[in-house]
Amino acid sequence: MSVSIQIKGIDELIRKLGKAEGMKHLRAPMQRAVYRLQARMAQYPAQRPNSSYRRTGTLGRKWTSKIEQSSTSITGRVGNNTEYAPLVQSYRFQARIHRGLWQTDRYVMDTEHRTIVRDFENAISEALR
pLDDT along the chain (129 residues), means of 10: 83 92 94 97 94 94 94 90 97 96 96 97 95
Burial (CB < 10 A; 0-12, 13-18, 19+), residue 56, is: exposed
Residue 126's pLDDT is what? 96
Residue 106's pLDDT is what? 96
* Cα–Cα distance for residue pair 121/53, rounded to 1 Å: 44
Residue 72's pLDDT is what? 81
- pTM value? 0.90
How remote is the C-alpha of 50 from its chain's centroid? 33
Residue 70's pLDDT is what? 85
